[in-house]
């Protein structure tokens, strides 16, 4: 059982009094500053501490000092992961389980969801988002400043040109709800602004800084000096991809230096992970030259961005807090939905007002390597596919004909090469039933609802999905 921080502190004071020790010597560490860094489409194997030739000294140092989260999972795509982080709930609960929010689409993370920055701000944290949002842009009610962030700088969508900050010919670059025109390279600008935020922060109060890089998402663009560092890489996509990661790592280093200079390093929790696996499918590669191989590597894991296989959802991840988190590899199962209750617990914040959370408090697992309280993991469920995991068993169900059921034992086969469904029918049946149960509970996909309405010209209230009564009658 994990005891709430306030109760732990009370019990420790009682114990200190009983044995005659000063209470201060037994107290929990103070509420931490939280630097939460997310990379975009970073391959699991594309960091130095996972054996890459891409130079990531800042991340490597963090990994050496803290916990390398070996079984940390996210959603298969960007919007979904960011929504899961912000709500502590699987996106299937509120209609964000499919694809991402496109520039022409008008929905966002539902306004009745209580988000992580709101929870932390109510607990006395200064909250800031520097970087990519991608959780609603068509209505200001969806924007970060309206969803709990005291300060915002960066892109509302994020799939932008790194030098012009444009998407579809329009500038997607804002500070505090206002369009911002400036020069510079996106990754560098985000790092510099994060440094300014740290330097200007009043250290009397803790901060929550959500630093959401767009790198190394396409288009593959990097400053010339970073490209020159990888002149020995012949493939232009791989060269630019590597340079983008190195520039992101440089900026992370600058932010960490600013925290150190401010005297806040010992009081700051740093979490880093990617929003999904690296791109291994041309459909997600954007407008780039595909004459060569796609540059991202997800190491031993199958698939990549958009897949429900491990390569799409098992993210490179780490957590550090000097003197608090034990260095080493943590094997416990975690999902990005766990971050909301975990951070709220550390902050002494109330989750009252949230809808039922899927996330669990995994702090003891992160900090000490204790067994994870999580035994089940939902990769995603939508109307054409789903995947769940129970312990080491993982089932992937493809619903469209020809349907397919795949069962893997991840302890023995992390690369998902051997389908064991026929040899273990009872396990496959139980996990498929769980997928079907979740499918019966899920909200309608807002992506497909708006997409179908846009292309088929439906009237409001008309059937949207092919499995709804009346769908075919309208279009026969």
d(CA 346, CA 30): 9
- Per-residue pLDDT band for 2 (boundaries 50, 70, 90) equals very low
d(CA 211, CA 36): 6
Question: What is the SS3 assignment for 273?
Answer: strand
**25-34, 234-243, 378-387 — which is least confidently predicted?**
25-34
Active site residue 475: no
Stretch 291-311: mean pLDDT: 92
Stretch 121-134: mean pLDDT: 98
- Per-residue pLDDT band for 11 (boundaries 50, 70, 90) equals very low
d(CA 74, CA 82): 9
Residue with tokens 């789903």: 386
Tens of pLDDT along 45-93?
999 999 999 999 999 999 999 999 999 999 999 999 999 999 999 999 9
Domain residue limits, the chain: 31-374, 383-441, 446-475
Stretch 371-386: mean pLDDT: 97
| Fold of the domain spanning 31-374 | Alkaline Phosphatase, subunit A (3.40.720)
pLDDT at 269: 98
> What CATH class does 383-441 carry?
alpha beta
pLDDT at 27: 47
Claim: this prediction has a pTM higher than 0.85: yes
Catalytic residue chosen out of the listed positions 50, 73, 78, 217: 78
Mean of pLDDT over the chain: 91
Who contacts 48 (Cβ-Cβ below 8 Å, separation ≥6)? 54, 55, 56, 57, 59, 60
Active site residue 137: no
Tens of pLDDT along 142-167?
999 999 999 999 999 988 999 999 99
Catalytic residue chosen out of the listed positions 50, 73, 134, 335: 134
What is the Cα Rg of the chain in Å? 22
Tens of pLDDT along 84-119?
999 999 999 999 999 999 999 999 999 999 999 999
* Residue 35: φ, ψ to 5°: -105, 110
Asked if 117 and 108 count as a contact pair (C-beta separation under 8 A), the reply is: no
**32-46, 247-261, 287-301, 310-324 — which is least confidently predicted?**
287-301
């Amino acid at each position: 059982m994990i005891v709430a921080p306030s109760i732990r502190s009370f019990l420790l004071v009682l114990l200190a009094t009983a044995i005659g020790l000063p209470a201060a010597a037994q107290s929990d560490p103070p509420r931490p500053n939280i630097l939460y860094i997310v990379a975009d489409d970073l391959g699991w194997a594309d960091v130095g501490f996972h054996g890459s030739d891409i130079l990531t000294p800042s991340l490597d140092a963090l990994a050496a000092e803290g916990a390398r989260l070996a079984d940390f999972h996210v959603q298969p795509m960007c919007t979904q992961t960011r929504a899961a982080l912000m709500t502590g709930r699987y996106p299937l609960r509120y209609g964000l389980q499919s694809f991402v929010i496109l520039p022409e689409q008008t929905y966002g993370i539902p306004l009745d969801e209580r988000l992580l920055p709101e929870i932390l701000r109510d607990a006395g944290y200064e909250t800031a988002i520097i970087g990519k949002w991608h959780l609603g842009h068509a209505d200001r009610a969806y924007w970060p400043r309206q969803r709990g962030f005291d300060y915002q700088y960066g892109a509302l969508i994020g799939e932008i040109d790194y030098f012009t900050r444009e998407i579809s010919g329009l500038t997607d670059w804002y500070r505090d709800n206002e369009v911002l025109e400036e020069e510079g390279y996106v990754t560098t600008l985000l790092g510099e602004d994060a440094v300014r935020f740290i330097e200007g922060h009043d250290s009397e109060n803790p901060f929550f800084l959500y630093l959401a890089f767009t790198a190394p998402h396409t288009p593959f663009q990097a400053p010339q000096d970073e490209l020159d560092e990888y002149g020995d890489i012949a493939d232009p996509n791989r060269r630019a991809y590597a340079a983008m990661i190195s520039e992101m790592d440089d900026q992370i280093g600058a932010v960490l230096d600013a925290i150190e200079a401010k005297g806040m390093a010992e009081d700051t929790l740093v979490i880093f992970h990617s929003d999904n696996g690296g791109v291994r499918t041309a459909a997600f590669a954007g407008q780039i030259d595909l004459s060569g191989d796609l540059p991202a590597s997800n190491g031993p894991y199958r698939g990549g961005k958009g897949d429900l296989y491990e390569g799409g959802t098992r993210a490179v991840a780490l957590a550090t807090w000097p003197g608090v988190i034990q260095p080493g590899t943590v094997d416990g199962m975690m999902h990005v939905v766990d971050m909301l209750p975990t951070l709220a617990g550390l902050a002494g914040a109330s989750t009252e007002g949230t809808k039922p959370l899927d996330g669990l408090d995994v702090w003891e697992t992160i900090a000490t390597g204790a067994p994870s309280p999580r035994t089940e993991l939902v990769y995603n469920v939508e109307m054409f596919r789903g995947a769940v995991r129970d312990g080491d068993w993982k089932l992937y169900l493809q619903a469209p004909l020809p349907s397919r059921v795949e069962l893997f034992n991840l302890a023995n086969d992390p690369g998902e090469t051997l389908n064991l469904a026929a040899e273990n029918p009872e396990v496959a049946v139980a996990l498929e039933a769980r997928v079907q149960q979740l499918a019966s509970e899920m909200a309608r996909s807002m992506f497909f609802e708006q997409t179908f309405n846009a292309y088929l010209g439906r009237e409001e209230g008309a059937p949207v999905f092919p499995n709804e009564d009346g769908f075919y009658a309208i279009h026969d």
